[in-house]
């Protein structure tokens, strides 16, 4: 038998260690060649965590040597799984105002990033252990308090999200690797127990349903939740079979080993044992079950609460695997706390009809064999951790393997901020004009550039294992800058009404009562005045007959936009106003037009110098657009006359 066809899998549990050797056939199925099980001599593991490396290594070494002797092979590599307690999940909530705007991709990205940042802050308070964010799943979006499956394109006042973030300790593998090293083994593949269990027990086709799996071992109850074709969350309750054993110890004065034996006989009608006082006790199994019922109920309640937290509610069905799944009364209690029919909570073993394995021994067909068979499957697929590796700007990032993983999710999990992706508008300039607050917008940002395997990509581009992402951060827009000339061009001439007829006047800007030069840079919070350049005296011959907005004016009065001028002196009319001076730019040079109140392009011809005989041959551009000689012009216009 060739070594390359063999997979050696170890399920190192709190109470037992199971070793299995499988042969990979040409059609992908796995033929189970040999399995063996050993219990720890002492409690060298607690709650799924290795405490005594040397004692655990002795058990593993015994299993390895037994399998090697039985099959005549030399084992150098083993597929293993870390306990589900290695994963830590945090439910996080975030909200933000959108004030009636249409919800965009950027809004959703910022919202999820905010929730993930809250989760990261939460795990910082867990002690000295360093956790790395490796995945997350959205439980629900909300728009104005109502749940939504997706937010983009909707309008409302407030959006929010509830999600589950998953973290992994950086040191999760150290103790397992130390055990293998002492046994002359190296890890062929490393996964997590709940991932292995769900791989073996729940076919991918069933993962479209909202199903939860609980691997109930001796020390921990590991939870995995499926929905929409993917495993969306993992969790752990640090209570399992050992709590049942310890309750039997207390109730009947037994040591741990004898209590463990009693627990395994609860399926008989009567159990006989000796307590630590030497007394023989014969008791009906149903009486022992009644005595441990409060502990079973407590474990079921804890599992149900964690499941609801991870899933955002009760799942549609629950599969139980692991030796603790057989605990009497557990199925009924768990169904009760989840509000499910008892038929929706089942103890799950390997289904031979699925055809993934051949020659499976009876000891592995029940719930106890699910995890180790899943470890073999994960090793065959070469799914390290049930994670994938991608590369972001050359840096390897390991993430939980999820369905339809996108660029946006990878960037969020990598700590890339919304600002780095979308950029920000340049800082606006705020000032006051005639008492009204005005805002001059800064420049627009240049969005980030994203490439996947060298090809342009978006936040929604799907990414697979080994893909390479190149991310060039966004560039913020430039800070707003505004000169007096630009503001005057934006405002245009001062329009007033004289006896109901509109008249245009040359505008100027004042700051502190003094006129500003055209190149003056408007400053934050400047108090500016926009008014006419000329005073009333320059326009009207007799001010005694002039009212502005119903009031008399002084000779130095300067007109403001929207002023209503009334001339009540008989015989005086609007044409008697003095002419308006307007400055425009002809072929890049400033010129001043005087003598009229309104001007057209023909009025600039005298400033052209030599005028060609055929005027029709001239090309005239007004602010970049081609026009004729009768086009009206105003202050600040850019005029180009081309031969």
Would you say the C-alpha torsion 503, 504, 506, 512 has a positive or negative sign?
A: positive
69 SS3 class? helix
Q: Are 137 and 233 in contact (CB under 8 A)?
A: yes
**pLDDT confidence of 559, banded at 50, 70, 90?**
very high
Q: What is the average pLDDT across 609-635?
A: 77
Q: Could you tell me what percent of the chain has a pLDDT over 90?
A: 42
Report the pLDDT value the prediction gives residue 352, as an integer from 0 to 100. 66
Report the pLDDT value the prediction gives residue 171, as an integer from 0 to 100. 62
What CA–CA distance (Å, rounded) separates 589 from 612?
20
Choose which CATH entry (3.30.200.20, 1.10.357.10, 3.40.50.1240, 3.30.1490.110) describes domain 86-170: 3.30.1490.110
Domain 86-170 and domain 581-642, same fold? Reply is: no
Q: Find which of 78-82, 153-157, 251-255, 612-616 is predicted with most confidence, using mean pLDDT.
A: 251-255
CB within 8 A of 434, min separation 6: which ones?
A: 528, 529, 530, 560, 561
- Nearest Cα neighbor of 302 from 237, 391, 392, 215 is 237
Report the pLDDT value the prediction gives residue 500, as an integer from 0 to 100. 83
The tens digit of pLDDT for each residue in 197-228 reads 888 888 777 877 899 999 998 888 989 888 87
The tens digit of pLDDT for each residue in 392-450 reads 998 877 776 665 688 998 898 888 888 899 998 899 999 999 999 999 999 999 989 99
Task: Examine the pLDDT at 576 and tell me if it is beyond 60.
Answer: no
Token duo for residue 189: 């593949």
Q: What is the average pLDDT across 100-124?
A: 87
Q: Where are the domains of the chain?
A: 86-170, 484-578, 581-642
598 compared with 182, residue with greater pLDDT:
182
Report the pLDDT value the prediction gives residue 571, as an integer from 0 to 100. 39
136 compared with 620, residue with greater pLDDT:
620
Choose which CATH entry (3.10.20.30, 3.30.1300.30, 3.40.50.720, 3.20.20.300) describes domain 581-642: 3.10.20.30
Report the pLDDT value the prediction gives residue 569, as an integer from 0 to 100. 58
470 compared with 354, residue with greater pLDDT:
470
Report the pLDDT value the prediction gives residue 614, as an integer from 0 to 100. 62
Q: What is the average pLDDT across 146-170?
A: 86
The tens digit of pLDDT for each residue in 19-69 reads 999 998 888 889 999 999 998 888 788 766 788 889 999 999 999 999 999
Number of alpha carbons in the 13 Å side-chain half-sphere of residue 16 = 16
The tens digit of pLDDT for each residue in 230-280 reads 777 788 888 999 999 999 999 999 999 899 999 999 999 999 999 999 999
What CA–CA distance (Å, rounded) separates 530 from 173?
72
Task: Examine the pLDDT at 626 and tell me if it is beyond 90.
Answer: no
Task: Examine the pLDDT at 575 and tell me if it is beyond 50.
Answer: no
Give CA separation, 533 vs 113, 506, 560, 580, 588, in Å. Answer: 53, 6, 10, 10, 23
Q: What is the average pLDDT across 131-144?
A: 81
The tens digit of pLDDT for each residue in 308-340 reads 998 889 999 999 999 899 999 999 999 999 999
3-state secondary structure 126-160: CCCCCEEEEEEEEEEEEECCEEECCCCCCECCEEE
H helices present in 171-313, as ranges: 174-182, 193-201, 241-252, 256-263, 285-311
The tens digit of pLDDT for each residue in 592-612 reads 887 776 788 888 888 877 666
What CA–CA distance (Å, rounded) separates 529 from 236?
68
CB within 8 A of 254, min separation 6: which ones?
A: 248, 262, 273, 275, 276
Task: Examine the pLDDT at 281 and tell me if it is beyond 90.
Answer: yes
Cut 0.95: pTM above it? no
DSSP track, 512-549? TTEEPPTTPBP-TT-EEEEEESSBHHHH-S-GGGEEET
546 compared with 430, residue with greater pLDDT:
430
DSSP secondary-structure letter at 444?
A: P
Report the pLDDT value the prediction gives residue 535, as an integer from 0 to 100. 85
Report the pLDDT value the prediction gives residue 573, as an integer from 0 to 100. 45
The tens digit of pLDDT for each residue in 494-531 reads 888 888 888 888 889 999 989 999 899 999 999 999 99
Point out the least confidently predicted range of 6-15, 398-407, 449-458, 623-632.
Answer: 398-407
Report the pLDDT value the prediction gives residue 129, as an integer from 0 to 100. 73
**pLDDT confidence of 346, banded at 50, 70, 90?**
very high
Tokens 């499910």 -> residue = 340
76 compared with 573, residue with greater pLDDT:
76
Token duo for residue 400: 């939980």
CB within 8 A of 15, min separation 6: which ones?
A: 39, 40, 45, 217, 218, 219, 241, 242, 260, 323
Report the pLDDT value the prediction gives residue 487, as an integer from 0 to 100. 92
DSSP track, 313-331? S--SEEEEESGGGG-TTHH
DSSP secondary-structure letter at 480?
A: P
Give CA separation, 402 vs 136, 172, 233, 290, 626, in Å. Answer: 9, 21, 10, 43, 58
Q: Are 466 and 457 in contact (CB under 8 A)?
A: no
**pLDDT confidence of 84, banded at 50, 70, 90?**
low
């Amino acid at each position: 038998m060739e070594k390359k066809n063999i997979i050696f899998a170890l399920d190192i549990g709190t109470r037992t260690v199971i070793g299995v050797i499988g042969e990979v056939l040409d059609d992908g199925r796995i033929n189970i060649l040999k399995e063996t099980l050993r219990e720890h001599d002492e409690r060298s593991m607690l709650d799924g965590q290795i405490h005594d490396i040397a004692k655990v290594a002795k058990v593993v070494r015994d299993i390895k040597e037994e399998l090697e002797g039985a099959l005549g092979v030399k084992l150098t590599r083993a597929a293993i799984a870390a306990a589900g307690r290695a994963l830590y999940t945090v439910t996080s909530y975030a909200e933000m105002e959108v004030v009636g705007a249409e919800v965009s991709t950027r809004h959703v990205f910022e919202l999820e990033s905010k929730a993930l940042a809250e989760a990261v802050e939460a795990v910082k308070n867990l002690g000295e252990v360093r956790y790395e964010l490796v995945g997350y799943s959205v439980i629900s979006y909300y728009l104005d308090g109502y749940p939504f499956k997706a937010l983009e394109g909707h309008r409302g006042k407030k959006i929010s999200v509830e999600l589950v973030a998953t973290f992994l300790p950086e040191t999760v593998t150290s103790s397992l690797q130390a055990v293998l090293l002492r046994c002359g083994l190296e890890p062929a593949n490393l996964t997590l127990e709940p991932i292995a269990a769900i791989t073996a027990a729940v076919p991918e086709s069933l993962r479209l349903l909202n199903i939860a799996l609980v691997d109930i071992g001796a020390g921990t109850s590991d939870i995995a939740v499926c929905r929409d074709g993917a495993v969306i969350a993992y969790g752990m309750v640090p209570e399992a079979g050992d709590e049942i054993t310890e309750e039997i110890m207390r109730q009947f004065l037994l040591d741990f080993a004898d209590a463990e034996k009693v627990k395994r006989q609860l399926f008989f009608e009567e159990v006989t044992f000796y307590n630590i006082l030497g007394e023989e006790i014969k008791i009906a199994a149903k009486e022992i079950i009644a005595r441990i019922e409060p502990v079973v109920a407590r474990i079921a309640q804890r599992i149900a609460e964690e499941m609801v937290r991870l899933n955002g509610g009760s799942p549609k069905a629950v599969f139980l695997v692991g030796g603790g799944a057989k605990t009497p009364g557990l199925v009924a209690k768990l169904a009760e706390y989840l509000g499910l029919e008892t038929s929706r909570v089942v103890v799950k073993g390997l289904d031979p009809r699925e055809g993934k394995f051949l020659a499976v021994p009876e000891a592995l067909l029940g719930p106890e064999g699910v995890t180790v068979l899943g470890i073999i499957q994960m090793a065959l697929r070469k799914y390290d951790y049930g994670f994938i590796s991608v590369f972001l700007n050359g840096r390897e990032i390991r993430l939980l393997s999820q369905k339809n993983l996108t660029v946006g999710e990878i960037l969020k999990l990598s700590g890339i901020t919304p600002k780095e992706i979308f950029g920000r508008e340049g800082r606006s300039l705020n000032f006051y004009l005639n008492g009204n607050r005005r805002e001059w917008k800064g420049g627009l940002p240049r969005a980030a550039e994203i490439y996947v395997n060298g090809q342009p990509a978006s936040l929604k581009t799907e990414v697979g294992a080994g893909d390479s992402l190149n991310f060039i951060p966004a560039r913020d827009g430039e800070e707003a800058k505004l000169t007096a000339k630009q503001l005057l061009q934006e405002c245009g001439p001062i329009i007033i009404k004289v006896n109901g007829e509109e008249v245009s006047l040359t505008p100027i800007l004042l700051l502190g009562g003094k006129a500003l030069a055209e190149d003056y840079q408007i400053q934050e919070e400047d108090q500016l005045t926009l008014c006419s350049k000329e005073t009333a005296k320059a326009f009207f011959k007799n001010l005694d007959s002039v009212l502005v907005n119903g009031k008399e004016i002084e000779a130095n009065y300067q007109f403001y936009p929207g002023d209503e001028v009334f001339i009540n002196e008989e015989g005086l009319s609007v044409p008697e106003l003095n002419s308006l001076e307007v400055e425009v730019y002809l072929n890049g040079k400033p010129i001043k037009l005087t003598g009229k109140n309104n001007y057209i392009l023909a009025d600039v011809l005298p400033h052209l110098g030599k005028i060609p005989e055929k005027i029709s041959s001239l090309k005239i551009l007004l602010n970049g657009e081609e026009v004729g000689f009768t086009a009206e012009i105003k202050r600040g216009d850019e005029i180009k006359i081309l031969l």
